[in-house]
Amino acid sequence: MLTVIIPAHNEEGYIGRCLKSVLDQTVTPDQTGGLQIIVAVNGTTDGTVAEASAFTDQAKVAGWTLDVLDIKEGGKPIALNKGDAAAGPMAEGDSRIYLDADIVMDAEVFAQIHDALSKPTPAYASGQMVVTEAQSWVTRKFIHLWRRVPFMATSGATGAGLFAVNAAGRKRWGEFPSIIADDSFVRLQFEPHERTAVAASFYWPPVEGFKALVKVRRRQDAGGAQIAELYPDLVANEGKAPVKPKDHLKLFLGSPLSYAVYVTVMLAVKFGATSNQTEWTRGR
């Protein structure tokens, strides 16, 4: 069984594109033993439930079962745990994909992930993350530099927006804890050699504008600090190379304006006023 769990909070206008991308995948029930989608909609105030439910018949024709959960409580960990509970326990050979509701993918992503996870030992997989073209000048400059930061330039299976595990891997944690960085929490359950980045890509939309970039980056930093505090043993699995002074010089010489924007955002993150980091937001 290949199960896709999609947590969704106020994703009207996004969830339809995401589900179409799922149904366009080349993976078949014959390859997996079954295809299942669970959209865990929680704390929503828009038409996400109706938009997702409209794909039920289309999913059936494509060989998928689609269940849409309407969860009243807010919070992404709640959505993930309700989705896991609806999917049930995993058996050997199963794959489970956790997918953000604003992600679209190449058609081969799921088939390649399922192949990468088809082993008895714990395994984690993701695709090649491609940041889509930004609309605002500030975000374009920030992303231009961010793509070249050593970790982003060399790391494949970052898992931001899409990550997957096999049955043996899913046993490494129980419920999703009430933390900010669920993607990092799962990725760090696995050592670098246990993580695979398949060749196919998925497309991650950036937030737009200076204020939104600062808000989301502050949240990401808070998520990393929270994991380091609560789960210090996991940090050893990070595998990130530190950014050295020579890396900063190379980044600056390669694009001084993009570097200036990036540093300005990061300084605002570090020295600006803090805010509530528990809300589920993409900064749109």
Strands 2-8 vs 35-42: parallel, antiparallel or unpaired? parallel
- What pLDDT is recorded for position 12? 93
Confidence of residue 153 (pLDDT cuts 50, 70, 90): low
- What pLDDT is recorded for position 33? 81
Q: What is the mean pLDDT of residues 93-101?
A: 96
Rounded to an integer, what distance in angstroms lies between the CA atom of residue 159 and that of residue 127?
A: 8
What is the tens place of the pLDDT at every residue in 38-51? 999 999 999 999 99
Percentage, residues of the chain above pLDDT 70: 93
Structure tokens at 109: 């992503």
Kindly provide the residue ranges of all beta strands, DSSP E only, lying in 2-135, ordered along the sequence.
2-8, 35-42, 65-71, 95-99, 104-105, 124-131
Nearest-10 Cα torsion for 187, 192, 195, 201:
90
pLDDT at 16 over 60: yes
Confidence of residue 278 (pLDDT cuts 50, 70, 90): very low
Phi, psi dihedrals of residue 97, rounded to the nearest 5°: -110, 130
pLDDT at 274 over 90: no
> What are the b/e assignments for 149-171, b being 16+ CB within 10 Å?
beebeebebbbbbbbbbbbbbbe
- What pLDDT is recorded for position 239? 73
pLDDT at 87 over 50: yes
pLDDT at 138 over 90: yes
Half-sphere exposure (Cβ direction) of 260: Cα atoms closer than 13 Å: 4
Identity of the residue numbered 230 = L
Q: What is the mean pLDDT of the chain?
A: 90
Superfamily designation of domain 2-271:
Spore Coat Polysaccharide Biosynthesis Protein SpsA; Chain A (3.90.550.10)
Half-sphere exposure (Cβ direction) of 15: Cα atoms closer than 13 Å: 25
Structure tokens at 32: 């997996």
- What pLDDT is recorded for position 34? 86
Half-sphere exposure (Cβ direction) of 4: Cα atoms closer than 13 Å: 32
Rounded to an integer, what distance in angstroms lies between the CA atom of residue 19 and that of residue 33?
A: 20
Determine the 3-state secondary structure of 2 from DSSP: strand
Confidence of residue 132 (pLDDT cuts 50, 70, 90): confident
Confidence of residue 284 (pLDDT cuts 50, 70, 90): very low
Confidence of residue 215 (pLDDT cuts 50, 70, 90): very high
